[in-house]
């Protein structure tokens, strides 16, 4: 009985995404809502443009490892120690993976006058919004949308390098800004050597037809490298004062929400302001991580598997703290917590044949002989008595039906 009450019954055929996009039915406050799609799914234009270069799941998970390393590294060292010149980035080798190239979600916004639509990765784990710009003075990668041309926009202007706005880049990017012909030069690097360098500028940003922001500060990237999967750049939704929520605070009060779709063949939304928020929402307190104040810190205090709370102390989670990040694919737990989670999960999944590990995922199953499977429910508990039941599609990471894995992983150390 406990199994029935505390498990998801999943049709195995539903585990793989469709090759056809199905639009979500949710109608939000459309005035301030953008459609969210997975970068590599059939709902994304990028998918149709560049099917041949879609990464494998193993590659996506490796990129996810790079992103997590980058986050840990950022939290481990002080910021603002590296000065960036526009020419420097040309000498930085980009490896065959990119932190922002991992399993990420994209939205389309408009920039400039007349407005040009750009598909950008949305990322709560970074702050600066940037897009590739013409002219490309270093390396630029292939993108789906036409590259933004500031010279064709009547509302574009550079930020001066002697301004306080320019100096504020240090906290937002972790790099001291540079100067080129009086223009402020920004540089942001994403830990695995992918980067964007260019002119810091302001421009009209059109989120929706009714939500338009003049003088939005963004990076006009003239030297960009990494596997960005055809996206034109990135929207930084972090907590720094240069992030999009901070720059639009007068209208939205730093209030935004999103829903990531259940699969890459369906859509979600990114919405700004109070409109469309569920009345059933449960809130926990945001915390601040002292070494990385732009991250959204949260307090995880417990986990349950199959309705049973794991016997781990809340202090185990608070030793290293936790953040929420839209750009990290797999939730990372303190290793002691992960061991307890996977051990209980394995116990409740013992009727299914095991499969080979997939990269960082070590608890995998072969469902080829089953038409439906029963998977234990998992809930995460946050400070303030907030229980968040994870959707069935959030418990499993599916490579193929013969390799379906528990979608959690452990950090290296409980104090990470």
Partner 1 sequence: VGIFGNTQQKTLQVVYDGVGGKLGFATGGCS
Distance of CA 111 to the CA centre of its chain: 21
Site residues for partner 1, 357-396, by CB under 8 A, read 380, 382, 386, 388-391, 393-395
Would you tell me how many other CB atoms lie within 10 Å of the CB of residue 137? 17
Task: Rank residues 204 and 332 by Cβ distance to partner 1 and give the closer one.
Answer: 332
Query: Which residue among 84, 199, 300, 360 contacts partner 1 (CB under 8 A)?
Result: 300
Distance of CA 52 to the CA centre of its chain: 23
Contact between 315 and partner 1 per CB under 8 A: no
Q: Which stretch binds partner 1 (CB under 8 A): 2-10, 78-86, 98-106, 199-207?
A: 98-106
Find the binder of partner 1 among 58, 90, 152, 286 (CB under 8 A): 286
To partner 1, the closest distance from the beta carbon of 353 in angstroms equals 23
Find the binding residues for partner 1 in span 60-79 (CB under 8 A): 64, 68, 71-72, 75
How do beta strands 175-176 and 82-83 pair? Answer: parallel
Work out whether 310 is an interface residue with partner 1 (CB under 8 A).
Answer: no
Binding of partner 1 at residue 42 (CB under 8 A)? no
Asked if 98 interacts with partner 1 (CB under 8 A), we say no
Stretch that binds partner 1, among 7-15, 19-27, 85-93, 204-212 (CB under 8 A): 19-27
| Choice between 152 and 319, CB closer to partner 1 | 319
Contact call for residue 241 and partner 1 (CB under 8 A): no
Contact present, 399 and 405 (Cβ < 8 Å):
yes
Q: Which residues are catalytic, by number?
A: 123, 325
Closest CA relative to residue 301, chosen from 317, 323, 287: 317
- Parallel/antiparallel/unpaired status of strands 33-38 and 105-111: antiparallel
Contacts for 72 with CB less than 8 Å, ≥ 6 apart: 411, 416
Nearest residue to 175 via CA among 120, 113, 240: 240
Q: Per CB under 8 A, which region of 46-54, 112-120, 291-299, 349-357 contacts partner 1?
A: 291-299
Find the binder of partner 1 among 87, 324, 346, 374 (CB under 8 A).
Answer: 324
Token readout for 35 is 């459609």
Q: Are strands 116-123 and 233-236 parallel, antiparallel or unpaired?
A: parallel
- Kindly list the strands in the beta sheet with 308-309, ordered across the sheet, starting from the edge strand earlier in the chain: 308-309, 300-305, 378-382, 386-389
């Amino acid at each position: 009985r406990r199994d029935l009450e505390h498990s998801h019954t999943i049709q195995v055929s539903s585990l793989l995404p469709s090759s056809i996009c199905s639009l979500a039915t949710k109608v939000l406050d459309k005035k301030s809502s953008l459609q969210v799609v997975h970068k590599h799914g059939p709902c994304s234009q990028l998918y149709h443009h560049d099917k041949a270069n879609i990464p494998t799941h193993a590659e996506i998970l490796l990129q996810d490892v790079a992103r997590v390393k980058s986050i840990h590294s950022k939290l481990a060292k002080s910021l603002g120690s590296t000065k960036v010149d526009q020419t420097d980035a040309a000498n930085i080798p980009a490896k065959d993976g990119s932190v922002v190239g991992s399993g990420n979600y994209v939205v389309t916004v408009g920039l400039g006058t007349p407005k040009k639509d750009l598909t950008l990765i949305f990322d709560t784990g970074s702050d600066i919004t940037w897009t590739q710009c013409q002219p490309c003075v270093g390396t630029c990668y292939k993108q789906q949308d036409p590259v933004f041309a500031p010279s064709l926009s009547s509302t574009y202007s550079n930020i001066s390098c002697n301004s306080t706005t320019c100096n504020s880049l240090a906290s937002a990017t972790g790099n001291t800004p540079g100067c080129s012909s009086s223009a402020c030069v920004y540089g942001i690097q994403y830990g695995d050597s992918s980067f964007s360098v260019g002119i810091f500028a302001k421009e009209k940003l059109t989120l929706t037809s009714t939500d338009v922001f003049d003088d939005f500060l963004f990076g006009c990237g003239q030297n960009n490298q990494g596997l960005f999967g055809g996206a034109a750049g990135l929207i930084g939704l972090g907590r720094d004062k240069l992030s999009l929520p901070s720059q639009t605070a007068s209208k939205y009060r730093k209030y935004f929400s999103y829903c990531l779709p259940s699969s890459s063949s369906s859509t979600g939304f990114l919405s700004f302001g109070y409109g469309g928020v569920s009345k059933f929402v449960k809130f926990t307190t945001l915390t601040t991580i002292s070494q990385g104040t732009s991250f959204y810190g949260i307090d995880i205090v417990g986990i349950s598997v199959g309705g049973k709370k794991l016997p781990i102390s809340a202090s185990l989670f608070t030793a290293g703290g936790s953040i929420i990040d839209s750009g990290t694919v797999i939730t990372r737990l303190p290793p002691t917590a992960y061991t307890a989670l996977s051990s209980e999960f394995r116990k409740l999944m013992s009727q299914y044949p095991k499969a080979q590990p997939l990269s960082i995922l070590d608890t995998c199953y072969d469902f080829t002989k089953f038409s439906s499977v029963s998977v234990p429910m998992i809930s995460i508990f946050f400070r303030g008595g907030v229980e968040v039941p994870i959707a069935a599609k959030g418990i499993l990471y599916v490579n193929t039906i013969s390799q379906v894995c528990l979608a959690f992983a452990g950090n290296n150390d409980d104090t990470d």
